[in-house]
Amino acid sequence: MSAADGVRRRARALFDRLPVARAAALGGVGLTLGAFLSVLHGVLVVTGDPTRLYYVVAGAGLAGTVLARVIRPRVAAAIGIVGVAAGMYLYVASLPGGFGFLALLAPMLDDAAALLSGLSVLRVVNADIWALAAAPAPVFLAWYLAVRGRYGAGAGVAGAGLGLVVLTGDATTATTLAGVLGVVLAVAFGDCDRRGERLRNADGVVVLLATMVVLTLFVGVVPGAAGSLVSTDGVSVGGETSTVESSLVYAGDSVAVAGAVELSPEVRYTVESESAAYWRVGTYDRYTGGGWVRSGSLRSYRGDLRSPPGRSRTLTQTYTAETSIASLPAAARPTAIRDVPVPVQVTAAGAFQPASPLQAGESYTVVSERPTADAGDLRTAGTDYPEAVEARYTQLPASTPDRVAERTGRLTANADNPYDTARVVERYLRSNYDYSLDVERPSGDVADRFLFEMDAGYCTYFATTMVTMLRTQDIPARFAVGYTSGQQVENDEWTVRGYDSHAWVEVYVPETGWIRFDPTPSAPRERTERQRLADARESGSEAVDTDASNDSELDRETPEPRPTATDDPTAGPLRDGSRPPGVDRSGETGGDDSSSPSVPLPSQEQAGVGLVVLAGLAAAGRRTGADRRLYRELWLRRLPDDSPEATVVGAFHRVVHLEERAGRERDPGETARTFLADSDRRARRVGELYERARYGHGVDEADAAEAAAHLSDLLGERSRLPAGVRRPQTGSR
């Protein structure tokens, strides 16, 4: 035995003694835990700083590792239960009112049921505390069981944690799939470890994993998955681009910033009001980097809502539905709703939502209190924000690039109060970016990409960017959606269409309340809407007009209600009468202006799925022997071209393989001449050339070409695959 063979044997023996199966089983449990924790990490990235999660997970994992050798499983289970109870205690204690909230047991149970039926964790009040409280018990117990060799039970505990966030809809398809793969790995390799078997059948596990991946991709069996490997932003069920209205007003508890959208000219409401306003449908407080989430739960409307602080004037509006519609617009700030034909719910921010759609002809009345503070009052209001408002409406994801705050700080360097800061940002966005419905949704943080890398967008992009910029300056701001005033058809009547749906910004001012700002350029938006209405009328659409809107002398879209000193104070000039300067957006991107197309790269999820599928194909080939057969077929057709001698020797070995595949077996000491004595004359000729190359005076390029030609002929007769043999090019070497 040679020295190399000895080294290989010792290496193989060492590998066989390594606990590979145990390591793989532990890796499976870790993968499932990682999938669960990645969702919690994502929540904490959105709500603020995920650093604390690292310490919690490290502590729980270390405790599980150490105590696995000290305590019994029953004691560990008790510790896990105590951990869950402690987490619930910390979360409830963090809620407004603390443990007084326990008096509302029914709402707590409703929230728990809502979580299990699809309520995102991001909608939970103090979602960061919830995420931190949910982490330690599953990590400790799952890792404790895994270290003790109970891999299936450990994976089950980790899978239960993952299952919770799957039910809430926060786990993506890729995350869910990773967790399921981890469970399979833990169970399969854990069984090998307990039986003390080698990993001879590990390729069967890989085949199973690849099959699961393919089934998940094409069948979609993962319930509750929030994401997909294929983006569907801005795409409706019918395959058509969604409208602004569907992506905003009917978005529900979350708004995803989409790509290209369209406008709907169909009439939604007729509004009777003594003055124009933005008819607000809802607000969103939690920014995810890619969209907005409304935190807090709904409650039934039980009477008048609180009025805003400071001076206000009453505005009464009556809305009549012109079609079946599932929203209840109201001018800010609504304090009462009357004569509603359906049950009404109220969001945590004081917006109305119907329990069922209104039908055409049904109406309701809203009483709103509108702040009347002037620009001077707003400039001197200060920054004494309520603690709850500041905590909730200055949140930004930890992943928000620093350059957003740096750009905002430079733009607003001369503004010495939050009101003027907001005015500068509003005017900057209006002046430096174009309005367009045909945009491609950027990857990464939407506000950052719009601010630095885009030239145009529609209202969602403008409002998202302004809120983000203000929050980097610790100014409470939120994302609001609803309808602009629409077409004025009488002195006190407006027709509101689908394309009047809009997104804007509301900024909190102490002692005044929420003040509206609109950074979207109004003129190009209104031109686009008028053209859409004209096209619809020309095509004969009947749903785009009421009798009043069709016959009105005011047959035009009313300009958006700009603020005045006594109505809505955001209209006046800046204190110094200046206009915020434009900034070169290309100056900080670090890229060039080349418009040459770039090759799209696969996402991490797509690359991971591809690797699993490729590994599955390779394992399936090994399992069935297809890989060896394929290799042999390729080997038969590729001759070495180092020299004529190497080519002839290679052809001989391939002829021997063909003879053995036909049922003959060469004895160890049998000569080439004896073995091929009864073979085809071409095979015998290759044998003769082999003997000449090995034992005679050698061969030349003509002999090598002859051997290759004979081999090609034999392959053509004995193989189902194409018989072409790679001909050596020894003369060119």
Q: What is the dihedral of CA 704, 710, 712, 715, to 10 degrees?
A: -140
User: Domains in the chain: how many in total?
Assistant: 3
Any domain includes 557? no
In DSSP terms, which residues pair with 479 in a beta bridge? Answer: 284, 505
If we measure between CA atoms, which residue out of 43, 71, 263, 294 comes closest to residue 171?
43
> What pLDDT is stored for residue 528 in this prediction?
87
On the question of pLDDT at 241 being above 50, the answer is: yes
CA distance linking residue 537 with residue 526, whole number of Å: 16
Output the DSSP codes for 645-656: HHHHHHHHHHHH
CA distance linking residue 491 with residue 489, whole number of Å: 7
On the question of pLDDT at 367 being above 80, the answer is: yes
Residue range 184-202: mean pLDDT, rounded = 68
**Total residues found in the chain within this entry:** 733
Is the separation of the CB atoms in 378 and 503 below 8 Å? no
**C-beta atoms surrounding 86 within 10 Å:** 13
CA distance linking residue 158 with residue 362, whole number of Å: 51
Any domain includes 595? no
Residues 152 and 79 occupy one common structural domain: yes
> What's this model's pTM, rounded to 2 decimal places?
0.70
Q: Which residues contact 611 (CB under 8 A, 6 or more apart)?
A: none
> What pLDDT is stored for residue 232 in this prediction?
30
Residues 411 and 537 occupy one common structural domain: yes
On the question of pLDDT at 593 being above 60, the answer is: no
Which carries the bigger pLDDT value, residue 722 or residue 351?
351
Which residue, 190, 219, 248, sits at the end of a domain? 219
On the question of pLDDT at 608 being above 80, the answer is: no
On the question of pLDDT at 483 being above 90, the answer is: yes
Which carries the bigger pLDDT value, residue 455 or residue 657?
455
CA distance linking residue 131 with residue 101, whole number of Å: 19
> What pLDDT is stored for residue 180 in this prediction?
82
In DSSP terms, which residues pair with 477 in a beta bridge? Answer: 507
On the question of pLDDT at 122 being above 50, the answer is: yes
Which residue, 485, 520, 545, sits at the end of a domain? 545
What SS3 string covers 155-214?
HHHHHHHHHHHHHCCCCCHHHHHHHHHHHHHHHHHHHHHHHCCCHHHHHHHHHHHHHHHH
Domain that holds residue 72: 17-219
Distance linking the first and last C-alpha atoms of the chain: 36
Integer CA distances (angstroms), 587 to 90, 278, 401, 452, 592, in order: 47, 36, 16, 9, 10
Residue range 338-358: mean pLDDT, rounded = 92
Integer CA distances (angstroms), 718 to 367, 373, 412, 573, in order: 90, 94, 81, 89
Any domain includes 690? yes
Instruction: Write down the residue that tokens 């690849």 correspond to.
Output: 210
Query: Which region among 179-183, 219-223, 282-286, 431-435 has the lowest average model confidence (pLDDT)?
Result: 219-223
Burial of residue 327 (number of CB atoms within 10 Å: 0-12, 13-18, 19+): buried
Residues 158 and 210 occupy one common structural domain: yes
Is the separation of the CB atoms in 605 and 178 below 8 Å? no
Is the separation of the CB atoms in 32 and 182 below 8 Å? yes
Backbone angles phi, psi at 13, to 5 degrees: -65, -40
Which carries the bigger pLDDT value, residue 678 or residue 277?
277
Residues 209 and 301 occupy one common structural domain: no
Cα angle 692-697-702, degrees, rounded to a multiple of 5: 65
Amino acid in position 206? V
Residues 498 and 427 occupy one common structural domain: yes
Q: Which residues contact 644 (CB under 8 A, 6 or more apart)?
A: 693, 698, 699, 700, 701, 703, 704, 728, 730
Where residue 430 falls among pLDDT bands split at 50, 70, 90? very high
Where residue 222 falls among pLDDT bands split at 50, 70, 90? very low
On the question of pLDDT at 258 being above 60, the answer is: yes
Residues 85 and 149 occupy one common structural domain: yes
Which carries the bigger pLDDT value, residue 678 or residue 3?
678
Residues 200 and 283 occupy one common structural domain: no
> What pLDDT is stored for residue 226 in this prediction?
45
CA distance linking residue 593 with residue 8, whole number of Å: 56
Which residue, 193, 219, 245, sits at the end of a domain? 219
Cα angle 639-640-643, degrees, rounded to a multiple of 5: 125
In DSSP terms, which residues pair with 483 in a beta bridge? Answer: 279, 501
What would the pLDDT profile of 371-428 be if each residue is shown by its tens digit? 999 999 999 999 999 998 998 999 999 989 999 999 999 999 999 999 999 999 999 9
Integer CA distances (angstroms), 447 to 120, 454, 463, 591, in order: 22, 10, 9, 18
Question: Buried (b) or exposed (e) across 544-581, using 16+ Cβ within 10 A?
Answer: bbbeebeebebeebbebbebeeebbbbebebbeeeebe
Beta strand 493-497 with 267-273 is antiparallel
> What pLDDT is stored for residue 502 in this prediction?
94
Any domain includes 28? yes
> What pLDDT is stored for residue 25 in this prediction?
86
Residues 470 and 366 occupy one common structural domain: yes
Any domain includes 591? no
Is the separation of the CB atoms in 429 and 519 below 8 Å? yes
Residues 205 and 271 occupy one common structural domain: no
What would the pLDDT profile of 49-103 be if each residue is shown by its tens digit? 888 899 999 999 999 999 988 888 888 889 888 888 887 777 777 665 554 444 4
On the question of pLDDT at 560 being above 80, the answer is: no
Q: Which residues contact 501 (CB under 8 A, 6 or more apart)?
A: 243, 244, 245, 248, 249, 481, 482, 483
Is the bond leading into 333 cis (omega within 30 degrees of zero)?
A: yes
Any domain includes 602? no
Residues 39 and 128 occupy one common structural domain: yes
In the numeric block, which tokens belong to residue 89? Answer: 């205690």
pLDDT exceeding 70 applies to what percent of the chain?
74
> What pLDDT is stored for residue 95 in this prediction?
63
Is the separation of the CB atoms in 391 and 560 below 8 Å? no
The CATH code of the domain that includes 380 is 3.10.620.30
> What pLDDT is stored for residue 404 in this prediction?
96
Amino acid in position 476? P
> What pLDDT is stored for residue 575 in this prediction?
57
In the numeric block, which tokens belong to residue 507? Answer: 């900024």
In the numeric block, which tokens belong to residue 364? Answer: 């309701």
Any domain includes 705? yes
Beta strand 434-435 with 456-457 is parallel
Residues 327 and 476 occupy one common structural domain: yes
Any domain includes 168? yes
Residues 214 and 269 occupy one common structural domain: no
